[in-house]
Amino acid sequence: MKIKGKVHKFGDNINTDEIIPARYLNTSDPAELAKHCMEDADPRFVRKVEEKDVIVAGENFGCGSSREHAPIAIKAAGVSCVIAKSFARIFYRNAINIGLPVFTSAEAAEILKKKDQVEVNVTKGEISKARRRTVYKAEVFPRFIKEIIRSGGLMEYAKDKGIKRTAKKKAGRVKKKKK
Amino acid sequence: MGYTITEKILLAHVPGLKEIAPGDFIMAKVDLCLGNDITSPIAIKEFRELGRKKVFNHKRVVLVPDHFLPAKDMKSANQAKILKEFAEEFGITNYFELGEMGIEHALLPERGLIMPGDLMIGADSHTCTHGALGAFAAGVGSTDLAYAMAFGECWLKVPETIQLRFTGKPRKWVGGKDLILHAISDLGVSGALYKAIEFTGDTIGMLPMDDRLTMCNMVIEAGAKNGIIAPDKTTEKYVKGAIRKYKPPRKSYKLVESDEDAVYADIREYNVSKLEPIVAAPHLPSNGRPVSEFKNVKIDQAVIGSCTNGRIGDLKQAAAVLKNKKVNPGTRLIVIPATQAIYLEAVEAGYAETFVRAGGVFCTPSCGPCLGGHMGVLSEGEVAVSTTNRNFVGRMGHPKSYVYLANPAIAAASAIKGVITHPSNL
């Protein structure tokens, strides 16, 4: 899978209060949250962002609260993926769990500038500027995380798992009857 | 090779697993999972989409609507209702309605719902608080909570551990808050990213449970996954007291400690015998400096409360400073006990009267203004000194408002003077 989009650049320690301020947390509606995405970091972000655009940030992106509203708001605003030097851990797992691709690459985060066109190979974790040859490799996901991503998020993974569980149980019952 | 307390607890929660190492991905059994009125509605929606008839264990799911209750507006009321209806439908016994409700990270230890040796996840970043009891407790998101409610499991990456060793007897007016602000300022806001922080040293042994909870509460502000303190006599006394008083469903616990040859990613030592109270300036919790360095910082509001510093020991300290004093005219003092039990104790001990006579307000338990929710949100240009945990841009209200983090005694003294002040300068 390949992503192509325009870069929106942010600095270090962008926290979840900036990504989606608590004054909007009285709802969990993605469309509603998307209207206020990144509001306290850049009030004009929502007007500028276009479908498939990419957020590029510095260290510790998404620090602070555990609110899943943060990656939800980013995803619902049309952002296709986030590239950062590093991610805060709860934001990172939340993004994986809801199927928002996130890439850790200090090099790419440094080199990519505002309004650059960027191409990302999601499966390979390869990042490059449009029409440029240099490829930046993002940190590789461990196999376990890849499985969640392949399912499209943790709940999809759970649904696969749930179906398997039920199938096993049923199989067990059939066996007993045969006895 | 030995294990740290964090590694031991994680290992004990993966059936059949023989060994464990930092960096491993595990699917661990959870003893308890927690959600609040902001994070649970998303988790409940996702849980319902799975179409399961039951939660993994109706006594081990805890739902606490502590962020926006008493409902600050209609949307918040709707969010809280989702929790209540879900709790009724699935027979969740640990749902806390207003009247019993308190801030989740004060309420659970108080009620004996979290035990030493437990593995707990919570859809709230300050879930790390519970590590003060010698448990593994980590903040996760709503989807993780949905998964845990369904399967009683959570995926985790085994963290490396940083040991922070505190030595020396802290001075008067220096407590857990100052120790942790000092450590965060040393580590930086991402200095412990993905790692466990284990607090050790003779200072920790001297600290009451309230201060230990404050310290573990703020490890997330250095990016840590969990904070943990090996259980000792203070821990056991606290846990036994909670069991006696509230008769929780589980009464057994396991005292786990790190092996002598456990491996740490880093060990840092802090001698705190000469440490001053620490104040963290806007807009990062790592901007901590001794209080004496803050000259003429005028404040509009002082907040004493939250999962960080809303416990009885905190209110006692604030009351000691405010006794027979008056809040500076034009400065607002907002005191928020973390739970109903703390509220009642503060009333009975006369602390509530002290706050009100001083010209402060004494509110119902809630996360309140800590996250800019309600009961003290800041306007443009306003400045607050607060015992809460974060001073990010816009955290307590307007993106152009300013929060200084401090301990309860500093917040109380600052309310009296109208500028950031050490209690001994009153």
Q: At what angle do helices A154-178 and B40-50 cross, to 10 degrees?
A: 40
At position B368, the amino acid (one-letter code) is: G
How far out from the chain centre does Cα B201 lie?
21
* Residue A141: closest C-alpha in chain B: B25
Cβ within 8 Å, pair B147-A158 = yes
> pLDDT at position A178, please?
39
Cβ within 8 Å, pair A154-B41 = no
Q: How many CB atoms lie within 10 A of CB B388?
A: 28
> pLDDT at position A144, please?
81
Cβ within 8 Å, pair B141-A94 = yes
Q: pLDDT by residue (tens digit) across B358-387?
A: 999 999 999 999 999 999 999 999 999 999
Rounded Cα–Cα distance for residues B214 and B407 (Å): 10
Is the per-residue pLDDT at B240 higher than 70? yes
Per the document, the length of chain B is 426
pLDDT band at B227 (very low <50, low <70, confident <90, very high): very high
Query: Which residues of B337-389 form beta strands (DSSP E)?
Result: 361-362, 383-386
Q: From its phi and psi, is residue B201 left (phi > 0), alpha (psi between -120 and 50) or beta? A: left
Q: How many CB atoms lie within 10 A of CB B347?
A: 13
Of A141 and B421, the one with more pLDDT? B421
A138-142, B18-22, B205-209, B411-415: range with lowest mean pLDDT = A138-142
Question: What are the structure tokens assigned to B224, written together?
Answer: 């840590």
Residues of A whose CB is below 8 A from B39: 66-68
> pLDDT at position A131, please?
85
Q: Residues B172, B404: contact at Cβ < 8 Å?
A: no
Angle B11-B17-B20 from CA coordinates, rounded to 5°: 50
Q: pLDDT by residue (tens digit) across B152-200?
A: 999 999 999 999 999 999 999 999 999 999 999 999 999 999 999 999 9
Is the per-residue pLDDT at A173 higher than 60? no
Per-residue pLDDT, averaged over B246-270, amounts to 97
- The C-alpha of A99 sits at a distance from chain B's nearest C-alpha, in angstroms, of 11
pLDDT band at A167 (very low <50, low <70, confident <90, very high): very low
> pLDDT at position A177, please?
39
Q: Indicate whether this model's pTM tops 0.90.
A: yes
Residue B378 DSSP code:
B
Residues of B whose CB is below 8 A from A22: 371-373, 395
Rounded Cα–Cα distance for residues A134 and B152 (Å): 45
> pLDDT at position A165, please?
52
Give Cα separations from B235 to A52, B85, B256 (angstroms): 51, 35, 12
Rounded Cα–Cα distance for residues B6 and B200 (Å): 13
Of A122 and B112, the one with more pLDDT? B112
Q: pLDDT by residue (tens digit) across A7-32?
A: 999 999 999 999 999 999 999 999 99
Rounded Cα–Cα distance for residues B227 and B125 (Å): 12
Residue B305 DSSP code:
-
* Residue B159: closest C-alpha in chain A: A89
Please report where in the chains the tokens 């008839």 appear, as a residue: B53
Q: Residues B34, B121: contact at Cβ < 8 Å?
A: yes
Round the average pLDDT of chain B to a whole number and report it. Answer: 97
Q: How many CB atoms lie within 10 A of CB B89?
A: 10
Give Cα separations from A52 to A124, B179, B370, B405 (angstroms): 18, 45, 34, 39
Residues of B whose CB is below 8 A from A62: none
Reduced to 3 states (helix: H, G, I; strand: E, B; else coil), residue B404 is strand
> pLDDT at position B53, please?
93
